[in-house]
Amino acid sequence: MPMNTFQQLQAELGVSFNDLSMLQQAFTHTSYVNENKQAKHNERLEFLGDAVLELAVTQYLYEQFPNRPEGELTKMRASIVCEPSLHILAVHHNFGNYLRLGRGEESTGGRTKPAILADVYEAFMGALYLDQGFTAVVHFLHSSLYKKLQLDESNKLVDAKSQLQEFTQQNNLSKPEYLLVMESGPSHEKQFTIEVRLDSDVMGMGVGKSKKESEQRAAAQALIKLQQQ
């Protein structure tokens, strides 16, 4: 993917990298490196970005909710720095369009996979931190993550299932229905695949180690689909 493509991404995000190759690396999946040995994948940036993101969100919640006890703040942070939330944000910023993927991953729909998109959001955070520092990360999050946070009347974060429920009610749609379509793996490593439907239409699918996690991922996909319609 040419560098001018990432210049376009910068314009869309309102950022300007000093080292554009750092931004490119953030969007480079390991499958691409397997076929292009000279490239660098984004896993180390993802590792760094996860820590940076957790610190930034911790600071935000600490300042935003001065009367909340530590336990509640921890739960709130966990509901933000998680795959469903970061997946939604990555889709919001069209990150899938800029991924550098190997041919195999491309052919299996890698640009829309929640795990890959959540990872690239973290990698982008790591790249931005290295290129411009923590202040730039916080500034970006105020226009990205914090702007997208939805809070209920008690100022507690609303999860994807609750957001979907609220969205369908506000738009006079049918109530979401969650269906277990597959259960696989040994007893100690079960994986559950769940669909969420509105009427008979499948609006999202989630895979996770618990039914609750799978439902959240399915709801997150459905939200994205409905918001894009």
Active-site position among 50, 105, 131, 195: 50
Joined tokens for residue 112 = 């829309």
Alpha carbons 2 and 162: distance in angstroms, whole number: 40
Alpha carbons 226 and 91: distance in angstroms, whole number: 13
Contact 65, 73 (CB under 8 A): yes
50 in active site: yes
Joined tokens for residue 46 = 């993802």
Active-site position among 83, 119, 122, 195: 122
Q: What is the SS3 assignment for 155?
A: coil
- Supply φ then ψ for residue 149, to 5 degrees: -60, 135
Q: Is 99 exposed, middle or buried (0-12, 13-18, 19+ CB in 10 A)?
A: buried
122 in active site: yes
Angle, nearest 10°, between helix axes 114-132 and 211-228?
80
Q: Write out the catalytic residue numbers.
A: 50, 122
